[in-house]
Structure 1
């Protein structure tokens, strides 16, 4: 197979536009495509100077910044495997990630470096460098002495580009391996399907530690040599001010809800925009319709996962069909998607079944987890997403639930078993059950029900504070209840459906 490096594809796309503005930040800073190319070359040369080779891992937990994106590009061009982490992860989670991925470099926020230094050293991480939201840190200082030219590493399509950690149903995160071939195929398909044209400008409002912000938004913009209007943290007012000079916006449902709260959101404000895309969590039909009424635009909803990148999309071009509220559209070109029943038989139109997928965008498996790979892939090579859905007669996919109780809150994945494992380890806790309940802003909110040990006196506030110190904030239950027992069926299995019904309206009015 021919060599394929994703960065080489980007470089080819912007080769004739090196002095064009690649990124304009909300602080007024501007970076040209030449800046991105030269600065990533310097970091790539620094990585080589400290001995990193293709296939070595570089782990990153920093705030969003352009230099943080440049570090990712440097990893791509040098063949180093990029391992981004949510900035909310705490030390107990970081220890597991370091031990599992064995990174040779860890890039940390300066404010957390001292606390992480002993942990990193104890787990064999050779280099800990810093990078702040202001773009400054020991990483930038170290790379400054290196030249701005670098020969892009030639790689096979199956060479690893990134590992994304996604929470596991057994309480431990799994590292989804994504190859250069996976990322290239998905970027090219989305670039064509979403009708990117010269002159498109993207409002980049998402974090860059997960698929949506990095592998969808950034990749499409770089492949199109498009300018990105870059927010460090999402501000609805800033987004609206940028719409008259932009054409594309990508966001999670929460961002659309927040922009709808702006009084001057109007068709006139959005007249220059051509495409609004939503993903990472279910978009409420109410939000879909209200956005149409307020802006004159119809949001394009799509569906993807860390393990598969994008899988489906509502149509972009009118001639391809309508964008249907409540659906995630049709499978992408080159991606196969099916719904199967418990016996593995194909479901008919409108019948609900487990969603399975295959295609060039689907990952080869989890990092160092052969048992999980054997379980999550079928004998004929389809990946079991764990989502339940149905396909209508026109090929539109609707997600109806998640067989593994996955909670998606504000676009972030939370697996109940992981949160339960931390709760169950707290003093006085006998057992717990974590569920997702409907939440207007976040799609779902995390709710926990905890049963005390005999004689133990538990305080919901203290339990919440204790778990907050151990796990990422988006995983922390927004409501925690103390109960005498959990509902069970005759086989002793906890009935989470009953719990979800009990607390279904807990976030009403919030």
Structure 2
């Protein structure tokens, strides 16, 4: 029996192929039959290109039903799906194409010119476009991908795959500034989807309100995969808008979001218990949920948010229980099949395990844990212990009943609005600005974003740099979610005796500025 992830999903599609699979905000319906036929056409197109086994299909397109169908078609055809954040600009895309060497790249028509120059120069042979939904194309998507695919048959025999075969590569930045491609197999993703379906009690008749992006593990491998595996309808929103979410909530039973979404819902006057009357489950992840948000949400709606913990390399690792106490400030218990431990390394270099209440490095093992980093065998080896546990880089502690609380991160990762931001990457761009002597990037607590990317700059005495000017320059170089919310200027950066910048002192000094940030 094939381990192809698409075959797993298809085995749970409803028998009634005329039932709705995806509904857009403007009422367009895509039936389960539509999804099967459209994915077959695209899979046939890919198969006609003569691509080598294991070829990567890189995708940087706006969210749409067709974008999800493209994901399914890639799996169905036996190739490797590589989603990229739509905010990435040319320098970032050039790196991803050079590193992953995709055989096919699919982008939005508006980006075709500059993407084509990079892709063809790097040797990518096939470039297609996938447009956003608009009234001009009768509410359906367009672009060269669909124009080519429509000429192919709408039946396709799903390619046989083994559980260890590569299915998806998710790029996650490193503190060195170089992005790493986390390799997830069909078996990795399937095991996690099956566990979550049971653990979160997915039911017949569930409707998922999908407001997350599709290039992120949360929106793709947790939310969308959950609905596909359960044969559940999805209401697809192109992006999160509090007012639109409030309008669609009464027609839904499940909603998943990052903490920023819940903060913005609580700020909307139309959000109350009546709007949530049919919701069965609210899930939060990708960043820490503030205790105040957790408490206010329960008070306003009568619902307790279920917070969970995972990462690109492992999919989901822990979750608060569905039918037992959900504890604020924790990410719950290890999921079935996941072995999670906390370890500390002493001055002698030896590791020991932590007991309840003790803080340690989070290490995990399980069928959901990735195969390693793309073309980085040495980095992969560094991140695993001798007995096969993956070192997450996060620090946590268990309470007396085994609930895990994330205390911090051993690396300088900033999570802003649910997106991972690594300071070194931002600092390398800042340091190229004329007049900047050196910089340090930190995360400061922020009521909306969880953490706000903040830059501290030491400038030349004659430099005429301003906060607004630096921010505008950054917007032309990197994705908007990485751009600092605030820039401060200092005479020098605090350092220890070894010359390392003491970012903890910077965070302490500037943390009071969070209230004035936009």
TM-score per shorter chain, which class?
over 0.9
Match of 2:12 in 1: 13
**Alignment partner of 1:323 is 2:330:** no
1:96-495 map, 5 Å: 96-134=95-133, 135-317=141-323, 321-343=324-346, 344-453=351-460, 456-495=463-502
Measured in 2, the distance between the counterparts of 1:367 and 1:503 equals: 37
Counterpart contact for 1:54–1:81, Cα < 8 Å: no
Measured in 2, the distance between the counterparts of 1:157 and 1:225 equals: 22
SS of the aligned residue for 1:54 comes to: coil
Structure 1 residue 129: Cα displacement: 0.9
Measured in 2, the distance between the counterparts of 1:242 and 1:462 equals: 40
Counterpart contact for 2:13–2:231, Cα < 8 Å: yes
Measured in 2, the distance between the counterparts of 1:309 and 1:17 equals: 31
Measured in 2, the distance between the counterparts of 1:441 and 1:454 equals: 35
Tell me the C-alpha RMSD between the 2 structures: 1.2
SS of the aligned residue for 2:176 comes to: coil
Counterpart contact for 1:59–1:106, Cα < 8 Å: yes
Counterpart contact for 2:243–2:270, Cα < 8 Å: no
Measured in 2, the distance between the counterparts of 1:268 and 1:392 equals: 35
Counterpart contact for 2:55–2:102, Cα < 8 Å: yes
Structure 1 residue 457: Cα displacement: 4.5
Measured in 1, the distance between the counterparts of 2:427 and 2:356 equals: 37
SS of the aligned residue for 1:13 comes to: coil
Structure 1 residue 458: Cα displacement: 3.3
Structure 1 residue 378: Cα displacement: 1.0
SS of the aligned residue for 2:370 comes to: coil
Q: Deviations over 1:54-113 (max 9, x none)?
A: 310011111100111110000011111111011111100000000000001111111110
Match of 2:76 in 1: 77
Counterpart contact for 1:458–1:482, Cα < 8 Å: no
Measured in 2, the distance between the counterparts of 1:451 and 1:253 equals: 33
Q: Name structure 2 gaps, 5 residues minimum.
A: 134-140
Of residues 292-301 and 50-59 in structure 1, the stretch that sits farther from structure 2 once superposed is 50-59
Q: Name structure 1 gaps, 5 residues minimum.
A: none
Q: Deviations over 1:177-229 (max 9, x none)?
A: 11100100000000000001101111011000011000000111011100101
Match of 2:136 in 1: none
Counterpart contact for 1:326–1:398, Cα < 8 Å: yes
Measured in 2, the distance between the counterparts of 1:167 and 1:460 equals: 26
Residues 48, 402 of structure 1: alpha-carbon distance in 2 compared, 3 angstrom cutoff:
same
Q: TM-score, normalised by structure 2?
A: 0.96
Q: Deviations over 1:386-420 (max 9, x none)?
A: 11100111110000101101000000000111111
Q: How many residues align structurally? A: 506
Counterpart contact for 1:18–1:32, Cα < 8 Å: yes
Q: TM-score, normalised by structure 1?
A: 0.97
**Alignment partner of 1:90 is 2:89:** yes
Counterpart contact for 1:17–1:225, Cα < 8 Å: no
Structure 1 residue 265: Cα displacement: 2.1
Structure 1 residue 456: Cα displacement: 4.3
SS of the aligned residue for 2:196 comes to: helix
SS of the aligned residue for 2:511 comes to: coil
